[in-house]
Each structure stands twice: as structure tokens, then as C-alpha cells.
Amino acid sequence: MRSSRNSSLLTPHSLPNMKITFLGGGNMASALIGGMLQQGFSANDIQVIELQATGRERLQNEFGVRAAESLDAEALDCDVLLLAVKPQQMHAALAPVAGQLVRQLVVSIAAGLRLADLSRWLGGYPTLVRAMPNTPALIGMGVTGLYADDNVSNAGREAVSRIMHTVGKSVWLDSEAQMDAVTAISGSGPAYVFYLIEALQAAGENLGLSADTARLLAQETFVGAATLAVRSNEPTAVLRERVTSKGGTTAAALRSLTDDGLPSIIETAARAAAMRGAEMGDELGAG
């Protein structure tokens, strides 16, 4: 399909007042709406389509946005349609929308679903972006991988970046295939960190610390080390070496981790996640 990077969709002048409709009002949609409002977006420019009455009431009370049960004409009068329903429900959720989109930029935060399948379910609609945020977005500290169809203009990319930056940082990818790697590293990554915190806490308890003390030490060590890594301009390996005195306690621990094959264990785990991501894309897009 022919690229339209110079199209008038979402001109830079329109960015401050772009209208956004969320299809789905779950946790990640709520995180994005909350972040957007904190960053100066107007509640009057945000709408949410949510099937559950309790969900609509919560969204209206918490954020002051319009929440509707279905995609009506008012909801479709938007610049960005952000797809935030579960991947398994996406095909059915998009059925009423197929053939109705004209100028909207469609952004999907549903894991695994490829742009070609989303486009097909929308009747061949070409202007789409795929986003993979992670759960720290719920506290404004997420990181999102982004990939755009060639038909998305530079202004459209800028609009998506502006939305995602309200809940953390983002990175644009060169190919959609890289989304599986993003899923493996940052999408699933918080679970790896939680698992490591659990393991470090358990080790502390086995060494004689109380559960509360071991938990505090494990959690705050991860927070502090991660913050130090983010704030430092030096490679993470250099920071690690500075903590590792020759013949000391840290050196003994790291030698044990290396001997047990931790680097290859982590790589194998990430590859398993990436492979499953690709499989999910095949399975979810089969309909």
C-alpha cells in the first residue's frame, strides 16, 4: 500500500486538542487516561467504550470522561481510536467498526495481535500503530515498544508518542517482528523482576532474616539499583564492577551465579517468551 506520511491526518497543530476514543476501559486504558489528564489532556476530548455498567460509572466518576456502551457516532468522531480490549475479544469488538473509519489513527495495545490482522478485521483499514506497554505504566513508569504501518504520518507518530509518554517512556521499532522481543524483555519483564525479588527475599529468610526485613531489603535494593542504573551515564557492567571487590562477598555471589548459568537461563527464558509471542500472533490472527 502507498505511504501517506505527508497526509493531513493529525497535523502537529492539532496535537494539543486531539480527540481520543478508547475501545475498552480496563487497567491499562485507565492508566493512560489518568496519565493523559495529568499531562494536560482535556477530559472533554476523551471517550471510552466500556460494556460493563460498573466500569462506565467508574470511568465517569474517576476521570470525568464520557463513557458509552457502544461505538456511536460521537465516539467515532475522534482523531485516535485506541484499542484496549483483550486480544481474544478484539475480532468481535472490531466487527461493528469495520468500514466506518475514515481519518482516524488506530492504535492497538493488545498483546500479540499483528497489524495485518487488525487491518483485515477493520475491512482493510491501513492507518494503524501497534503498541506494547508494560504494567509499570500503571504508576507512570512504564516503557512502550511502538511500530507503525507505513501509512502513518510523522504527525501520527508524534501523537502516539505523546500519548504513551504520559505513562513512561517509549521506543519506535524498525520492524513489527521486533515486537516479540519487546514483549519478551519489557512486556513480560516485570514478572521476571518480581520473581527475582521473591527469590532474594526467600534467600534472606533462609539466612535468618525476618520475612518483613528480607522483603524490605530485597525490594529497596531493586528500586535503588535500578534507579542508579537509570540515572548513570555509565554502562551497567561498569556499575556492577564497582560493587564487586576482588575476593569479596559480591564476587563470590556473582561467580556462583555465573557458574550456575544465570545469563543463559535469562536468555533462554526471553527466547521462550518471544517464541510464545509469535505463536500467539498466529493463533489470535487466525480468525
pTM score of the predicted model? 0.88
Cα separation, 279 vs 211, whole angstroms: 39
Q: What is the DSSP letter of 18?
A: -
Is it the case that residue 67 has pLDDT exceeding 60? Answer: yes
Is it the case that residue 15 has pLDDT exceeding 90? Answer: no
Helices (H), ranges, the chain: 27-38, 53-63, 73-76, 90-94, 115-121, 154-164, 178-182, 189-206, 211-231, 236-243, 249-259, 262-284
Cα separation, 153 vs 142, whole angstroms: 25
Mean pLDDT of all residues in 79-93: 95
Q: Which amino acid is at 227?
A: T
Q: What is the pLDDT of residues 114-165, one digit of tens each?
A: 999 999 999 999 999 999 999 999 999 999 999 999 999 999 999 999 999 9
Cα separation, 131 vs 82, whole angstroms: 10
Is it the case that residue 4 has pLDDT exceeding 50? Answer: no
Q: Which amino acid is at 166?
A: T
Could you give the maximum distance between any two Cα atoms of the chain, in Å? 70
Distance (Å) of CA 132 to CA 59, 145, 172, 215: 23, 5, 11, 30
Tell me which residue of 4, 58, 52, 59 sits closest to 36, measured CA to CA: 59
Instruction: Identify the burial level of 88 via C-beta atoms within 10 angstroms of its C-beta, where 0-12 means exposed, 13-18 middle and 19 or more buried.
Output: middle
Cα separation, 48 vs 71, whole angstroms: 9
Do 12-179 and 189-280 come out as alike in CATH topology? no
Cα separation, 249 vs 3, whole angstroms: 58
Cβ neighbours of residue 268 closer than 8 Å, sequence gap 6 or more: none
- Three-class DSSP category at 170: strand
Q: Which CATH architecture has domain 12-179?
A: 3-Layer(aba) Sandwich (3.40)
Torsion 76-78-84-88 (CA) sign: positive
Q: What is the pLDDT of residues 228-246, one digit of tens each?
A: 999 999 999 999 999 999 9
Query: Which is the CATH superfamily of the domain at 189-280?
Result: ProC C-terminal domain-like (1.10.3730.10)
- Three-class DSSP category at 128: strand
Ranges of each domain in the chain: 12-179, 189-280
Is it the case that residue 282 has pLDDT exceeding 70? Answer: yes
Cβ neighbours of residue 133 closer than 8 Å, sequence gap 6 or more: 28, 32, 109, 142, 143, 144, 164, 167, 168, 187
Lowest mean pLDDT among 5-14, 179-188, 229-238: 5-14
* pLDDT at site 17: 77
